[in-house]
Amino acid sequence: MASNRLRSANKNQGEDAEMDMSPMIDMVFLLLLFFLVVSNPRTIKIDTKVKPPIASHAKTPKVKHGKIVLNIRDDGTFYDESITINFPDEEAMEEYFKKEKEKMDAKGYTARLHVRGDQNAVFKHCRKGIRAAARVGINEVIFGSYTTSN
């Protein structure tokens, strides 16, 4: 008897109900847009000719923004992050740091010098870069190194 009632109720239903997917598609696009805005697109290019030293107590910097990268090769030559500018002297470095610091200040970031020195480079080369940055007003220095896994 119950099955007859069920059959008769199903006869009068008409067509099947369908789910409208357009709100779901809108939600996917909103999430995609949110993650694009929130993500950090900044990547640091690595000079393959620079082999950083190994440090047993190295830590990853917590702040990602505001880095001005200076690559120092083992022969004492200086390059910027994109490895396109070779700094012949401290004045050229100072001018580059000044421009980069102005860009960071405009974005509201604290400019930091990220020194990627080769493990065979002499520290006096590193000191030249740090002095040039200090004359421009960059007071924080981050030294790049590899860490050993304990």
| DSSP for residue 76 | S
Do 137 and 67 belong to one domain? yes
Do 78 and 111 belong to one domain? yes
What's the pLDDT score for residue 101? Answer: 92
Do 87 and 125 belong to one domain? yes
What's the pLDDT score for residue 14? Answer: 59
57 forms beta bridges with none
Question: Which pTM does this prediction carry?
Answer: 0.65
Q: Which residues of 98-125 are buried (b: 16+ CB within 10 A; e: fewer)?
A: bebbeebeeeeeebbbbbbbbeebeeeb
Do 19 and 64 belong to one domain? no
Give the confidence band of 135 by pLDDT, cuts at 50, 70, 90: very high
- Listed ranges 18-27, 39-48, 62-71, 96-105; the one with the highest mean pLDDT: 96-105
- The answer as to whether 43 is a domain residue is no
What's the pLDDT score for residue 56? Answer: 80
Proportion of the chain above pLDDT 90, given as a percent:
13
Do 76 and 103 belong to one domain? yes
- The number of domains in the chain is 2
| DSSP for residue 111 | P
Do 79 and 132 belong to one domain? yes
pLDDT of 26 higher than 60: yes
pLDDT tens digits, one per residue of 35-93:
888 876 666 667 777 878 888 887 877 777 888 888 888 887 888 777 777 888 888 88
- Considering the chain, what is the average pLDDT of its residues? 81
How many Å apart are CA 63 and CA 40, to the nearest integer? 12
What's the pLDDT score for residue 31? Answer: 92
- The answer as to whether 46 is a domain residue is no
For residues 112 and 138, the answer to whether their CB atoms sit within 8 Å is: yes
Do 79 and 111 belong to one domain? yes
What's the pLDDT score for residue 137? Answer: 92
What's the pLDDT score for residue 13? Answer: 60
Do 15 and 58 belong to one domain? no
pLDDT of 16 higher than 80: no
Do 141 and 75 belong to one domain? yes
CA distances from 79 to 19, 40, 53, 91, 126 (A): 58, 24, 18, 14, 12
Q: For the residues 110-123, what does the mean pLDDT come to?
A: 86
Domain that holds residue 78: 54-147
**Which domain CATH number covers 115?**
3.30.420.270
φ, ψ dihedrals at 74, nearest 5°: -65, -20
